[in-house]
Amino acid sequence: MDKITMAHGSGGKDMHELINSLMIKELDNGILRRRSDSAAFKTGAGEIAFTTDSYVVTPIIFPGGDIGSLAVHGTVNDLSVCGARPLYLSLALVIEEGLDRKVLERIVASIKNAAKKAGVQVIAGDTKVVGRGACDKIYINTSGIGRVFYRGLSVRSIRPQDAVIVSGGLGEHAVSVLSKREGINFGTEVLSDSAPLNGMIEKALKASRNIRFMRDPTRGGLATTLNEIAGGSGFGIALEEKDIPVSEGVRGACELLGFDPLYLACEGRALFITAPGDADKVLRALKSANFGRGARIIGKVTSGHKGKVYMRTNSGGLRLVDMLSGEQLPRIC
C-alpha cells in the first residue's frame, strides 16, 4: 500500500493496520500502547498547562524542518513560554487521500525524532482521511500538557525599564517556507529556525527569578507579539533597530520582496521580558543553550508610549511598530 486511501480513515482493518504499523510502532510508549480512547497518566497536585495548535503549512517539507517537527516544536514552545515543563502531546492527523505513504512515514519519523529531542511523549492520537482536494496533503493538530514549575509569569508583572530579549534571529522560518513554496533562491539558503525551546527556556528560568513574561513570536512576528505584550502590560516598548538580530539571508529576502522582518513568523525563538538587573544573567544563560546562541537585548519597557511599540531606527528616527494589519502576503501559517 503506497498511497493513503479513504479506507485508512474508515475505522476498519486498513486504519488499524496503519495505526499499528506506523503510528504506534514509531511513537511507541507505554501509554500509547494501551490504545485506549483516552490516554491516562498519573500526576501529583499542582498546576497543569494545556495548549493546542493546528499546523497547515505549505509546503509540508521545507529547508530546516517539516510539518511534523514543526507541530511538535510549536506545542512544546507554547507550553514552555508559560513556565511549564512539556510532558505529553496528542497528535491528530487529517490526511488527504492519495498522500504517498512514504511521505507520511517521513513525517511520523520526524515527529518521533522531535518528540525525543524535546523529551515529550505522544500519548493520544487520531487519524482522519479526507477526499482528494479536501485538505492540502496533511494537517496536524498537536495539543500539549505540561507541568507549571515557574509561577507568576504575566504581562501584569511587567515594569518600566524591564529588558526585552529575543533568543535569536527573526523570520528564518517564514523565509525558509516562502523560498521553498515560491521556488525563490535568495542566494544563501535560509533554514527554518523551528526548534524545541524547553531546554533553553529552563536554563533562563534557572538563571533568574525575575523573568516577567515570555512568548514565542510566531504568526504576526515580533511586532505583533510585542504589541500584545505592550497592550496587556499598559506600558510602552522601545526597540533599538541596530540590536535586532536579522540574518543576511532574511535581510536579503525582505529587501527583494518588500517584507519587514519584524512581522515574519519564527518557530524557534522566544521573547523574554526580564527585570533590568537580571537581563545579563538571562542573556548569558540563553547564549549557553542550544538554540539561544544568537540572543540579544533588543529594547526596554517604557512608562511612556503606553500600549505602543516604538523603534529607534538605524537612521536615528523613531518609528511606530504597529500590530500586523490585514495579511502579510504570502501567508506562512
Only segment of 106-114, 188-196, 246-254, 317-325 that touches its own copies (CB under 8 A): 317-325
Size of the site for its own copies (CB under 8 A): 75
Q: How far is the CB of 45 from its own copies (least distance, A)?
A: 5
The C-alpha cell at 145 is 500538557
CB atoms within 10 A of CB 273: 29
- Is residue 316 at the binding interface for its own copies, with CB under 8 A as the rule? no
Only segment of 39-47, 59-67, 109-117, 292-300 that touches its own copies (CB under 8 A): 39-47
First-last CA distance in the chain: 31
- Residue of 61, 103, 135, 246 interacting with its own copies (CB under 8 A): 135
Q: Residue 136: CB partners within 8 Å, gap ≥ 6?
A: 56, 58, 96
- Is residue 257 at the binding interface for its own copies, with CB under 8 A as the rule? no
DSSP classification of residue 293: T
The C-alpha cell at 321 is 511598530
User: Could you say which residues in the range 60-119 bind its own copies, by CB under 8 A?
Assistant: 78-79, 81-82, 84, 88, 90-94
Q: How far is the CB of 136 from its own copies (least distance, A)?
A: 5
Question: Which single residue is written with the C-alpha cell 544563501?
Answer: 188
User: Could you say which residues in the range 170-229 bind its own copies, by CB under 8 A?
Assistant: 215-216, 218-221, 224
Torsion of CA 41, 44, 47, 51, to 10 degrees: -10
- Is residue 20 at the binding interface for its own copies, with CB under 8 A as the rule? no
- Residue of 145, 158, 197, 204 interacting with its own copies (CB under 8 A): 145
Q: How far is the CB of 27 from its own copies (least distance, A)?
A: 13
The C-alpha cell at 185 is 533562491
- Is residue 136 at the binding interface for its own copies, with CB under 8 A as the rule? yes
Nearer to its own copies, 150 or 186 (CB): 150
Given a contact cutoff of 8 angstroms between Cβ atoms, the answer to whether 218 and 158 are in contact is no
The C-alpha cell at 199 is 531546554
- Is residue 150 at the binding interface for its own copies, with CB under 8 A as the rule? no
Backbone angles phi, psi at 110, to 5 degrees: -65, -40
Nearer to its own copies, 126 or 248 (CB): 126
Q: Residue 280: CB partners within 8 Å, gap ≥ 6?
A: none
User: Could you say which residues in the range 44-63 bind its own copies, by CB under 8 A?
Assistant: 44-54, 56
- Residue of 5, 29, 113, 288 interacting with its own copies (CB under 8 A): 5
Amino acid at the residue 302: T
Q: Residue 169: CB partners within 8 Å, gap ≥ 6?
A: 193, 245, 246, 247, 250, 269, 294
Residues 224-253, one symbol each (x = binds its own copies by CB under 8 A, - = not), give x-----------------------------
DSSP classification of residue 21: I
Instruction: Report how far residue 298's alpha carbon sits from residue 246's, in angstroms, rounded to the nearest whole number.
Output: 12
- Residue of 1, 134, 184, 318 interacting with its own copies (CB under 8 A): 134
- Is residue 17 at the binding interface for its own copies, with CB under 8 A as the rule? no
